Structure 1
Amino acid sequence: MIFRLGELFCGPGGIGWGAINASINNPNYRIIHQWANDYDESTCKTYRYNICPNAPETVYHADIRTFDMSQLAPIDALAFGFPCNDYSVVGEQKGMDGTFGSLYTYGVKALKKFKPMWFLAENVGGLKSANNGHAFTKILEELHTVGYTVTPHLYKFEDYGIPQTRHRIIIVGIRNDISVKFNVPSPAPFTHLNNTCRNAIENPPIPQDAFNNEFTKQSDQVVRRLNYIKPGQNAFTAELPEDLRLNVKGAKISQIYKRLDPNKPSYTVTGSGGGGTHIYHWAEPRALTNRERARLQTFPDTYKFIGTKENVRKQIGMAVPCNGAKIIFEAILNCFAGITYNSIESNIN
């Protein structure tokens, strides 16, 4: 069975790559791209170049709030990583009251219109606690109401071999009239993988001519500051001279000028970069390149991001890790193919 996938809020293609590269022991079950939508023009160009270069017209650059879905082709599956800004624990957690909080409803609208056999929805772990938990409950109720049995789970991607501490809620839904049950894939088959950030970035070495591998210029002061910060430390835990300390009132964010610990997964890759929020190399006094950040998100080196360096940094930070998405899509395919696999109970009731 070939599932035609539609994507809303597609981003640069972390989910899309995971979908079209998902492979199980039954080659008759696979996923192909049908269409995608995102509001950022450069992001759409990246998606077209890497996911569907032979069908660029199937990626629609448009704001979902004014987008006419009636022009879209039929689909068998839907993915939507609805914007997480208002649910992130790093942000203000406005939840449903924020600018982005209600955008999930367009995923619900697409489910009503296309009635795909299954869907995958993704958001940050903070979604569960937004609006005192009411936002998450409301989203699950609406997904159930439109005819789907849903299985939410907080995936800790570092447990699945991803070289990054990244926790995301993934909701998999299967249409109620289909007698297939989704089981959360177990991390057990991936625990042997070397998911340190050093291994991800250095093995194999990044080619000199790799896409998106430009260095960020550091000021002399930043270089001096980084030279005092040890691997795993940040600007507040390191012993800095008085002239290099940060005069920040209130919360001391742990990722400010934080250097990677080479023997552990990276901390979470985000779309930001100003004010010391780049990810910093463990040995060299500099920020990571976008290609190094992409490796932490498990994008292949052949994946070309299109846009300014700052826009590309944002694209990479907003994406779902390619290999993490692939693992979940393979679990879905196995469910439909009737193939058993290692699974665990959902950690969200």
Structure 2
Amino acid sequence: MNKAPTIFSFFSGAGFLDLGFEKSGFNVAFVNEYHLPFMETYQYSRNHMGMSQPEYGYHLGDITEFERNPKSELLSKLINQTKSEDRLVGFIGGPPCPDFSVGGKNKGHEGENGKLSATYIDLICKQSPDFFLFENVKGLWRTKKHRAFYELMKDKLHSHDYVTTERLINSIEYGAPQLRERIILIGFKKSLLNKLGIELEAGQTLTDVFPWEDHLKYHIEEINAMPWPGMEPFAENGKRERPAGISEELTVDFWFEKNDVGNHPNAHQHFTPQAGLARFLTIPEGDDLKKSYKRLHRWRPSPTVAYGNNEVHLHPYKARRLSVAEALALQSLPKEFQLPQNITLSNAFKTVGNGVPYEASKGIAVTILDFLKVGEYGEANRS
């Protein structure tokens, strides 16, 4: 196989996951997102990065619309057209996850967002792409009451001839400066596995042969063993030497410097408190375990980039909250990636927090390419 697999993206947000797939060698041809500010950011960022429009366009609307005609027929037509050109078709998407998050609504599959996970799985079964990726919070996989729903979704996929593999990833293992766990479920049609010459022996599962660890930059055990600094008194604009023995590329300050956040187009965009500045001055650098008012440490990774539920993330050595530019850097995005200037601060931080870290997106994408024996990763796999 030497043609770039074609991606149909759902719950695309501002396109962090899509960008990782595009930059790794996939053709992201179809983009679906419901929230207009996310879609506008997707289009704006791609335009400013000089990237072409998706082959099959942007589709603003609820994913449930693709369960009904005429949008169901349109989707089927595009998929059939792609397959007729001997191109593999893949679905990727991370349905909204607060209903499965311990820190969110926790309503599970009965919540409005929880139902969208089932809709996405139904769409996969109906439209029958060659492979798919499903991304969600670890609560869906780890919490007992949600795990039963997760297993039912897998059962449905298996009944439609998909073979699946899953892993609880941490984005930092792929080189993102952020501790962010997510469950990744990937599935391939049995017919595709046969074409690839992949046969599972008795007792084997797809996880036994899928190269999950081949494109990790670190293992969490070695990261945890590094001598990361603890809490230190806040010093506005103060200097601190980088400790020996840590990986600099996994730190907040490395990415701030790498992305030149002070001169980034979104540098000036941050919330300014009407009150409470004194509190900003008292929280130590590295005090990031509280529910709210977390101050990052410049020489550590960031906690999960999430800015809802009253989570306030403070700059390591400035008496303010993080800027949009700094949040984008912590999502490991290229410095050229930017958000529209007219986006509201609430939508900006929601956009950033909802995305999959770019380095993790790339790592997962090249792992799939490796498995599919496509492009440079496939060539390496065949040699």
Structure 2 residue corresponding to 1:71, chosen from 69, 74, 88? 74
Corresponding residue number in structure 1 for 2:27 = 32
TM-score normalized by the length of structure 1: 0.82
Pair 1:197 & 2:252 matched? yes
> CA offsets, 1:132-159, max 9 Å, x none?
5212211221222222111110001112
Structure 2 residue corresponding to 1:109, chosen from 122, 132, 140? 122
After TM superposition, give the deviation of residue 216 of structure 1 in Å. 2.3
Q: Separation in 2 of the partners of 1:107 and 1:132? A: 16
After TM superposition, give the deviation of residue 202 of structure 1 in Å. 2.5
Pair 1:61 & 2:56 matched? no
Report the residue type matching 1:194 in the other structure. E
Corresponding residue number in structure 2 for 1:120 = 133
| Cα distance change on mapping 1:112 and 1:286 into 2, 3 Å | same
Structure 1 residue corresponding to 2:336, chosen from 276, 288, 302? 302
After TM superposition, give the deviation of residue 88 of structure 1 in Å. 0.8
Corresponding residue number in structure 2 for 1:327 = 363
After TM superposition, give the deviation of residue 268 of structure 1 in Å. 0.7
Q: Separation in 2 of the partners of 1:51 and 1:175? A: 31
Q: Separation in 1 of the partners of 2:248 and 2:133? A: 25
Structure 1 runs of 4+ with >6 Å offset:
none
| Cα distance change on mapping 1:155 and 1:91 into 2, 3 Å | same
Larger helix percent: 2
| Cα distance change on mapping 1:43 and 1:293 into 2, 3 Å | same
Q: Separation in 2 of the partners of 1:142 and 1:212? A: 46
Report the residue type matching 1:214 in the other structure. Q
Q: 1:178-197 counterparts in 2 under 5 A?
A: 178-179=192-193, 180=198, 182-186=210-214, 189-190=217-218, 194-197=249-252
Structure 2 residue corresponding to 1:233, chosen from 287, 303, 311? 287
Report the residue type matching 1:155 in the other structure. I
Say if 2:215 and 2:366, in contact at 8 Å, map to a contact too.
no
> CA offsets, 1:84-104, max 9 Å, x none?
010112124221121111212
Corresponding residue number in structure 1 for 2:108 = 95
Gaps of 5+ in 1: 23-29, 235-252, 342-349
SS at match of 1:60: strand
Corresponding residue number in structure 1 for 2:169 = 155
SS at match of 2:136: strand
Deviation larger for 306-315 or 185-194: 185-194
Pair 1:3 & 2:5 matched? yes
Say if 1:108 and 1:146, in contact at 8 Å, map to a contact too.
no
Report the residue type matching 2:11 in the other structure. F
Q: Separation in 1 of the partners of 2:257 and 2:300? A: 14
Say if 2:214 and 2:367, in contact at 8 Å, map to a contact too.
no
Say if 1:84 and 1:100, in contact at 8 Å, map to a contact too.
yes
Deviation larger for 93-102 or 175-184: 175-184
Corresponding residue number in structure 2 for 1:283 = 317
Gaps of 5+ in 2: 83-88, 199-208, 220-246
Corresponding residue number in structure 2 for 1:172 = 186
TM-score normalized by the length of structure 2: 0.76
> CA offsets, 1:314-339, max 9 Å, x none?
01000001110110110110111155
Q: Separation in 1 of the partners of 2:338 and 2:148? A: 39
> CA offsets, 1:170-208, max 9 Å, x none?
111111112245321346534666201121113353252
| Cα distance change on mapping 1:59 and 1:189 into 2, 3 Å | same
Corresponding residue number in structure 1 for 2:269 = 214
Q: Separation in 2 of the partners of 1:87 and 1:162? A: 23
Corresponding residue number in structure 2 for 1:250 = none
Aligned-CA RMSD value: 2.3
Q: Separation in 2 of the partners of 1:46 and 1:321? A: 16
Corresponding residue number in structure 2 for 1:241 = none
Q: Separation in 2 of the partners of 1:119 and 1:132? A: 21
Deviation larger for 2-11 or 304-313: 304-313
SS at match of 1:331: helix
Corresponding residue number in structure 1 for 2:348 = 312
After TM superposition, give the deviation of residue 211 of structure 1 in Å. 3.4
Corresponding residue number in structure 2 for 1:293 = 327
Q: Separation in 2 of the partners of 1:322 and 1:159? A: 12
Q: Separation in 1 of the partners of 2:216 and 2:45? A: 30
| Cα distance change on mapping 1:80 and 1:204 into 2, 3 Å | closer
> CA offsets, 1:203-225, max 9 Å, x none?
35325252364232123x42200
> CA offsets, 1:90-133, max 9 Å, x none?
12422112111121233223323432221111000111115252
Say if 2:109 and 2:149, in contact at 8 Å, map to a contact too.
yes
Structure 2 residue corresponding to 1:270, chosen from 290, 299, 306? 306
